[in-house]
Structure 1
Amino acid sequence: MNHNLYAHFASRFQGAEDSPLLVTNDGRSYSFSEIDHRTAQIADVLAGLGVRAGDRVSVQVEKSPAALCLYFACLRTGAVYQPLNLGYRRAEIEYFIGNAEPTLIVCDSVSEAEMRAIAQKAGTGHVLTLNGDGSGSLAEAADAMAGDFDILPCEADDLAALLYSSGTTGVPKGIMLTHGNLLANGQTLIEAWGFSAKDRLLHALPIFHVHGLFVAVSCVMLSGASMRWLPSYDAKDVMQHLPECTVFMGVPTYYTRLLAESDFSSDTCAAMRLFVSGSAPLLEETFHAFDERTGHRILERYGMTETNMNSSNPLAGERRPGTVGLPLPGVEIRIVDGEGQIVPSDETGHLQVRGPNVFAGYWRMPEKAAEDFTSDGFFNTGDLGKIDADGYVAIVGRNKDLVITGGLNVYPKEVELFVDDLPGVKESAVIGVPHADFGEAVVAVVVLATDDANNEADIIAACREELAAFKTPKRVVFVDELPRNSMAKVQKNVLRETYAQLLS
């Protein structure tokens, strides 16, 4: 059996190769056969540059049909796809490229000069460009290719993607996802969510993230469905296209913004069968407000970069607000105490997960994988949760101080290390506080070394220069000292309580 994920995508379109697969915001339609041919042309380019199975291809480009074809081409050739958030700054990119050691980097034309300098430093031999309109040196090279590249056979444990998630120590970790991980999770989701060739997904998510790239795209491709492809999220654009679609996936911010539109109603959603939310906690008030306005109960699920999807509220059955539903078929979830013993129903503990969806380990960090996996193969998610008597899972907190803002993960230590190095800063603590639009927002609590040191605007500006925008603090608060417990550990729970209303 060929476990190559793209081979399974292609099998779902046999006999329907010329049916629309993707329709852009401006009405341009692409059939599967067109996408498949373009994918093969790009695969020819990769092979010509010496990209081989297992080689990394680092990509920082705007969302576009061409960018999707590049992802498919990497799958097709057995290369390892490394998507990079468009918001990452040079210092962040230098680390990711230096650690992944890709054979090829693909970026937009505006970033080419900077990316070539990074590539030279990392020893990467090739840099190509791909722009949001589909132009660039990669596109030009692909135009000259025959497009007859066969789909490479893969084993289930061959790497398909490498995504980076910053750790609590501030050192980003490369999360290794295999063809088997992505295939197993995709197949589970199309069954759990009832996907078929009759569905059209309204795709408004970014594709440098698990949610938009692996969850949304895999559900479409493994069911033979189609999608309306938006370059980015805009509530009015979403409302315009909802009447022609059947499924929508978003982060909680997407739903609160739809509810803020006065003309958003049940009529807008008349053709819809399913709304899915994830990547950040969905507030119960949003769940109920959406139900009241549209008659649709949002299906909330739970996943991570390391695991894809772990649990989901049922398609047919009770969708309980405040929970992330039941473990998906083939996925085991358990709640344990500090000694690793399973706790009774409705008691809070550490959430662990095991299944074919769980990643293969951290890139070149076997010692970290050893720390994060139990002896019987469960992954320690770092989330605190509980499971009720009916099996519904609720996430009640995080024991790693993770901040989730607009569906994107921010690990405080990474921001703290940067802020602490700024002139005049003695120390800092970074927390997440409630935010009406993003769910949580990053706030830095800073102790200054001198009275005439940086002010709030200075620190935010410095962060914006070096860190991705979503990691940059929305506010900086100055204190004489940070609260600490008897072991001198900063009490971030106290800070979160103190500044809970800061952005209200």
Structure 2
Amino acid sequence: MAAFTAPNYLSRLIHCSCLRSGVRCSPLSLPRFPGFLRFFRLSSSREISAPETMQSTGSSMEVLKAVLKRCAVQPDSIVIRDQQKSYSYAQLISSSRSIADLLCNRDLTQPSHGSTIAMSSQQEQQKSRDLQGARIGIIAKPSAEFVAGIFATWLSGGVAVPLAISYPESELLHVMNDSDVSVVLSTEDHQQMLKDVAVKCGARFSIIPDVMSSMAHDSISLGGEIDDSRTTETGVENALIVYTSGTTGKPKGVVHTHAGITAQVEILSEAWGYSSADQFLHCLPLHHVHGLFNALLAPLYAGSVVEFMNKFSVRGIWNRWRESYPKDGVKADNAITVFTGVPTMYTRLVQGYEAMEPELQLASAYAAKQLRLMMSGSSALPLPLMKEWERITGHRLLERYGMTEFVMALSNPLDGPRKGGTVGKALPRVQVKVISEDGSEVNSSEVGELCIKSPSLFKEYWKQPEITKESFIGEGFFKTGDTVRIDEDGYYVILGRSSADIMKVGGYKLSALEIESILLEHPAVSECSVLGLPDEDYGEAVSAVIVPVASARDVTGSKPVLTLEELRSWSKDKLAPYKIPTRLFLWDSLPRNAMGKVNKKELRKLLQ
């Protein structure tokens, strides 16, 4: 890769954008073509946020500060490993600063219609280093480059929007347009696709340079102070916009502040004992709070090492654990100590273990036993799986509960009894309330809707003030939409969603209505209903019941009108992989109530 020089790179970027749009302009001029002005959009100061009672007042950017402090003291210490490569604090921060230089090369807040604002040279210098809340999309496999992109966005006063590699173009465009992304940062392996998508939504595209090639700063200056005025004087307190899985329609942008992130990493580090002695094996997507907070930001805050495994691999995980603890009493210097995953991962790991030769099973079970902590979340952990995993590894998985809107709120204890079928009790600094349908608080023995109040609660749903307001009750409690009960020991048991249209598939909460709306676009589909049916591996399987159009029906019955393979192939460009149906039923009609609405309760009975 050519040497990374921020000013020249941005000039080339501007020049290429002009050529693509057909507008003639020099690399140093501001082009005027549709979409370019979106590069200068600021975060709105008029959005209606969640009640002030739930907003954290803690310090800002503490995760980044913690990394910078360690960089100043031990710049050559390893902080991230990825694909047999190790990255030091100095390399990570150097790359982050280089990307921040690129993002701040041109003032994103300057009016582009010719008017000027008089300001002192000091003010001008500060503004040139501050994006003032512009949204920066980041899409890359779990890697040091992804982390550098997040840190660079924060260093430059921007708001990071993690994007899913698995999203089809239609979903990427929705998220990018909804969040008004100004710049898309990505690695070279996604360059062509992201260039095209960026042009369609009027955003800029830039490649994140390889972290190893970004050593351009004196290590003595790498741990410099962060200017907190960006989150106080300028009012830019937003740090992240994480999009939901789309449980009630299109995915919503959940805005997290720097203060909220600080509160969450402090809570998790305290509750689960994260420390600089830990080394995490990370196999989760980074557009989801499980992978982003539990397995990345909180460990980095605590001084842990994070090792990325870009793609979940049963063989790779067992091998890595055996490398960490090769024999009795031996522990490798880079030994993994913490692993967190979703139930489906543990199911696959059990299957992999059962396929091993007896001698390899002994070595694998011994190695797994040596880890300090193993956790499960994002969907319910089946009790038989929990027991089988404990039999093999000696680990009783720590199950916890969270949502995009507040990250983690309930957890089984690090030290103490971990009860299967429960998600434990409230984490430190988290308050819990269970309410009935009329909004009154229920007794501990009754069933009701779980409500959460935490310093890590989100600020707002991006550009949806009414939905934000409706999601809270008095005193700043957020309504989760999950039905719970409390057992005799005070542990919370999640009973499920109150809506029949919400499915939990492999750690994702999916909207049946959204999937139905896409399937109805298929030329052979007249009516359809989507629901989640029980599945041993994924919790629920996305199942589609379809009534074909009359013209497509084969009266002879010699061949199906539509096969599952055909439907899945057609859906690939329209739905994320985990939303595509894995089961298909072709019926003549759907059961409906008197109002013409599909009776999903009856439908479920007929299918089970």
Amino acid at match of 2:515: V
8 Å CA contact 2:247, 2:509 repeated in 1: no
Residues 49 and 280 (structure 1 numbering): CA distance in 2 closer, same or farther, change over 3 Å? Answer: farther
SS at match of 2:469: helix
2:73, 2:601 → 1: CA distance? Answer: 57
Match of 2:479 in 1: 380
Residues 484 and 371 (structure 1 numbering): CA distance in 2 closer, same or farther, change over 3 Å? Answer: farther
Residues 72 and 60 (structure 1 numbering): CA distance in 2 closer, same or farther, change over 3 Å? Answer: same
Gaps of 5+ in 1: none
Residues 195 and 117 (structure 1 numbering): CA distance in 2 closer, same or farther, change over 3 Å? Answer: closer
1:432, 1:53 → 2: CA distance? Answer: 43
Amino acid at match of 1:123: G
Match of 1:470 in 2: 578
1:139-182 CA distance string (max 9 Å, x none): 98x67788968634254881111122254552321111111121
Match of 2:347 in 1: 256
Match of 1:427 in 2: 527
8 Å CA contact 1:204, 1:232 repeated in 2: yes
1:119, 1:231 → 2: CA distance? Answer: 24
SS at match of 1:359: coil
SS at match of 2:310: coil
Q: Does 1:60 align with 2:139?
A: yes
1:95, 1:423 → 2: CA distance? Answer: 24
1:499, 1:393 → 2: CA distance? Answer: 30
1:229, 1:108 → 2: CA distance? Answer: 16
1:214-249 CA distance string (max 9 Å, x none): 221122112111122212211111112223211111
Cα drift, residue 312 of structure 1:
0.5
Match of 1:46 in 2: 103
How large is the RMSD of aligned CA atoms in angstroms?
2.4
1:143, 1:194 → 2: CA distance? Answer: 33
1:90, 1:50 → 2: CA distance? Answer: 29
SS at match of 1:103: strand
The number of residue pairs the alignment matches comes to 492
Taking structure 2 as the reference length, what is the TM-score of the superposition? 0.76
SS at match of 1:385: strand
1:437-471 CA distance string (max 9 Å, x none): 22222111122231516513433222112211111
8 Å CA contact 1:78, 1:152 repeated in 2: no
Cα drift, residue 93 of structure 1:
1.4
SS at match of 1:190: helix
Counterparts of residues 131-142 of structure 1 (less than 5 Å): 135=210
Match of 2:418 in 1: 319
Q: Does 1:415 align with 2:494?
A: no
Match of 2:446 in 1: 347
Between 248-257 and 28-37, report the one with greater CA deviation.
28-37
From 338, 350, 365, the equivalent of 1:247 is 338
From 431, 435, 439, the equivalent of 2:539 is 439
8 Å CA contact 2:149, 2:185 repeated in 1: no
Taking every aligned residue pair, what percent have the same amino acid on both sides?
A: 34
Q: Does 1:92 align with 2:171?
A: yes
Amino acid at match of 2:402: G
2:374, 2:381 → 1: CA distance? Answer: 12
Q: Does 1:458 align with 2:566?
A: yes
From 123, 130, 133, the equivalent of 2:202 is 123
2:345, 2:250 → 1: CA distance? Answer: 30
8 Å CA contact 1:420, 1:428 repeated in 2: yes
Counterparts of residues 96-495 of structure 1 (less than 5 Å): 96-109=175-188, 111-124=190-203, 126-130=204-208, 135=210, 151-153=226-228, 154-155=230-231, 158-242=237-321, 243=324, 244-260=335-351, 261-262=353-354, 263-264=360-361, 265-400=364-499, 401-450=501-550, 452=552, 455-456=562-563, 457-495=565-603
Q: Does 1:74 align with 2:153?
A: yes
SS at match of 1:483: coil
Gaps of 5+ in 2: 1-57, 109-130, 325-334, 355-359, 554-560
1:38-93 CA distance string (max 9 Å, x none): 21122112112545031111122222211121112122222111111111111111
1:274, 1:468 → 2: CA distance? Answer: 31
Residues 145 and 419 (structure 1 numbering): CA distance in 2 closer, same or farther, change over 3 Å? Answer: farther
8 Å CA contact 2:135, 2:159 repeated in 1: yes
1:150, 1:231 → 2: CA distance? Answer: 32
8 Å CA contact 1:59, 1:84 repeated in 2: yes
Cα drift, residue 13 of structure 1:
5.7
Taking structure 1 as the reference length, what is the TM-score of the superposition? 0.91
Greater relative contact order (Cα 8 A, min sep 6): structure 1 or 2? 2
2:317, 2:168 → 1: CA distance? Answer: 29
8 Å CA contact 2:471, 2:478 repeated in 1: yes
Amino acid at match of 2:103: L
Match of 1:33 in 2: 90
SS at match of 2:473: coil
8 Å CA contact 2:169, 2:573 repeated in 1: no
SS at match of 1:81: strand
Cα drift, residue 364 of structure 1:
0.5
Cα drift, residue 113 of structure 1:
4.2
Cα drift, residue 118 of structure 1:
3.2
SS at match of 1:58: strand
1:62, 1:10 → 2: CA distance? Answer: 23
2:278, 2:189 → 1: CA distance? Answer: 37
Cα drift, residue 315 of structure 1:
0.5
8 Å CA contact 2:160, 2:239 repeated in 1: yes
2:579, 2:82 → 1: CA distance? Answer: 30
Amino acid at match of 1:48: N
8 Å CA contact 1:40, 1:150 repeated in 2: no
1:384, 1:337 → 2: CA distance? Answer: 10
1:345, 1:368 → 2: CA distance? Answer: 29
1:101-134 CA distance string (max 9 Å, x none): 111012344654443343333222x21134xxx6
